[in-house]
Structure 1
Amino acid sequence: MTTPGAATNGAQTRIRGVQTSFDELGTPLRDVTFCVVDLETTGGAPGESGITEVGAVKVRCGEILGEFQTLVNPHGPIPPFVAVLTGITNAMVATSPRIGSVLPAFLEFAQGCVLVAHNAPFDVGFLRHEAKEHGFDWPDFIVVDTALLARRALTRDETPNCKLGTLARFFRAGTTPNHRALSDARATVDVLHGLFERVGSLGVQTLEDLQTFSSRVSTAQRSKRHLAEPLPHAPGVYLFTDDRGEVLYVGKSKDLRTRVRNYFTASETRTRMGEMIGLATAVRGIECATPLEAEVRELRLIAQHKPRYNRKSRFPERQHWLKVTVEPFPRLSLVKEIRDDGAGYLGPFGRKQTAERAMAALHETFPIRQCTQRLSRQPKSSICVLAEMGRCLAPCDGRIDVEAYGEFVTALRAALAVDPTPVVNALTTRIDLLAAEERFEDAAVHRDRLSSFVRGSARMQRMASITSCPELCAARRLDDGGWELHVIRRGRLAAAGVSPVGTHPRRHLEMLQASAETVLPGIGPAASASPEEIELVLRWLESPGVRLVELDGEWTSPIAGAGRHLRRLDNARAGADHSEPGERRRALRPVGP
């Protein structure tokens, strides 16, 4: 699979040096114009209360650029306790303009600014509500809340609370807040500058840093955000490495630089990721042509490097299969790999417990032997307990010959590969009997066995359908009019690319086919790629808008296969999980579509 935009040398990927622009590094706080706003109102609920005063201060790089202040007629009486608190009376606002007249002037004053308020949800909430009520479009302001910023930057040992008056005293503001809009806005300006000095020592230098600042992000973690700068704004895979070059973590994203930068901000809250960032000294990026290529590369790199901080997909080789052994009296065996030995297989299962449940479902349906000793064509052993219970055909004492036993084995192999209906019917009947006896726990055990078998069978049939195709080419139109192209060989993504708008996709597809990875046939449905990769490819092929361009071979699944039973099992499980105990008899049984 080729990757545009990345120079490769064997397994290593080399990213060319990039001279980043100031825009990519963020907007320095000294270049940002802030509009610090404060409101006085008749109450605390927008729509039920009105605004009585608006005050705002425009400031940039510590310099006051302008002030805005006006009383507002709230179109209703001011409660006495509010009048006492603010000093604003009904007489003072009787001839003042309504908020519908004030809003256009304020929005013009704040145009192009970052809004700042102490307890911003309150002030901004009122302004947004009034703008909507009066038919004004509310600009997409960036909002900074000094109360929230103070809670993140200061400790309780420094300030007992984050009220405006307390912070104004702590930062020695030049204006004392007095519940008048302009005075409180001026005090908030001084608090804002005091907070800038505090967080600046913690590495917050840009507006982007300020938006994502949190006390949970250590200075060391934040100082490593430059590691993301060489990465492109493109889909791909990223690898965090330590000072020895060991891969610590592998991830994927539709935008490499934006995603990696988030690891150094408050948006990353996972403890283990914080530990990983502390060890990381570099981030390596591999740009991918399509999101599917990024997903596939992530799986392959995780399997290759087995990074300690990745929890999923590290060991795709750990697979479990059910095997119908090849001997005179075959039995089911749990194995870790498949061979070209003519045996029947079911899998792969990611967990041994799941495979064991599927095996139990098959033993409930087909009474083949469960003992492990080798039996000749004329066995003479004594029978076991299962035979005495009628749950085993007992070939060990010669009561059934090879040919008659083989008929059950043939039906078993058909249930594995083609039609699981006999297993579904047998387990459903058993579940009904147990539910009728109100043995719901035992019924749930059989339901889980049935689910493990059907899901395993459906998974194998889906994978086998695509891995049997030597080559499949598919395309999907992009939003800009171009085409996303993939070449898939025996279920493995062999090449990925994009045909830009205005060019014929056929030519690009032919180039991809010529340079695509050669994939040879193997044994079993997961010989060419990991089960996770094959399922990723299948999900993309089945997604809306995908068109098949070329197909070498047949992409088919059995019409009576396991897939048709999946929805019934999902409905049955959902019903059992949400029903009352008295209703479980009905819920435990798989229901019709």
Structure 2
Amino acid sequence: MDAARSSARGVSTELAGALLPSLPRSARSARSARTKKPALATQLDLAVSTPDADVARLRAQVRESTRNVPGVYLMRGAHGEVLYVGKSTQVRTRLLSYFRLPWPEHRHARLLRETARIEWEPLPSEFAALLREVRLIRAHLPRYNVRSARPLDKWWVITIAKGPAPRLRIQKASAAARSRDGAQMVGPFASRRPLQDALRVLNDALGLRDCSDRVRMHMHDVAELFEDTHPAMQRTPGCHRHETKRCLGPCVGATSAYEYRTQLSRARAVLEGRDDAPQQQLVREMAAASAALSYERAGWLRDRLTSLQELEAQLARVREALTRPSFVYAVPGRDTDDRLYLVRHGRVMAEARCRDPHAVNALQEMEQRAVQPPTGAMVEQLDELLLLESWFRGRNGETALTADTVVGALEKLAVHLRERLPLSLGELP
């Protein structure tokens, strides 16, 4: 009988909902006033209870399947997209800590409400977890990993983006690393102000644009398709730099794509340390101004030359830093999963498990191959370079496990493991 009453009550509710639009306004208002609180409670139940149930399911899965070992974890959304990548030396404890965070105040508590699946990967050491985290973030660029780029926030880079008329830009290293436009990066640099002055001089010397990306470009190549009366060919100069002949004017059709790319290649050569023509030109102009007793102009040219010289000094330091980190690093791992990492020019080129002789032999063969050093100060994976620098800077003892060769790293690892086991088998009682 109770079931029949519930069924009848459900049917009457559906009929009432169907008839509600035909009722007078006053009747609808009165009915809405009587049902306001129950309707609100139903909406809250639908909005809160279902995500809570999902969070409880995720918590149960974490408790059942994860362990307290070093590793990385990925939180995926309903469509499989990676929302967040994290690492920890104790994955189980780290993941369970997310479920104790206040909601909705904490961002990771809000992250859990968007997470449909949590994946985790055990790794043999903290270094392996750090390296894997950096590479996963670079591959997926998760939107909840904004804070993971904080180590890059204190560094600046020069980027050369793609497009019809690329320009040299100064960006935070974190923003450049998260960008998807495939721009080349030059750096890193510790200060932004010297870069601004130097790039202004370089742009003026080579005629490169420095306007916003919102400005539309109209290369002279368009004249091959249209008459000179085409609107793109009749525009007035967009800024004073073109009028004073310090910009090629790609926005007004004053240059072709080939001419602009040629000057951009010269700028890249300057940044790579292969061309000092802009500096030599400033030296000649400064000498001519001094000979003409135009000391004010000579002083202005001297300041511009100083900016380029300071940039070159910074680039020389960057180039030296990029070529320095080259070694083999032996890392003791969990459950005797010791590993070797081949580091060349600030990048981990390959790794091998020490107990796998074939992998060690392959790493030794790779070690003997010549590796092309970074071109000038161009760096593709700045996050790995900074990871290596911060790792060895904060852990002085780790340098004892580095060597120039695979054999040397294995020998140092053997010594390290013997020191960790002070009693040999013959000394055991």
* TM-score between the two structures when normalised by the length of structure 1: 0.33
Greater strand fraction, Structure 1 or Structure 2: 1
* TM-score between the two structures when normalised by the length of structure 2: 0.43
Q: Which has the larger radius of gyration?
A: 1
Greater helix fraction, Structure 1 or Structure 2: 2
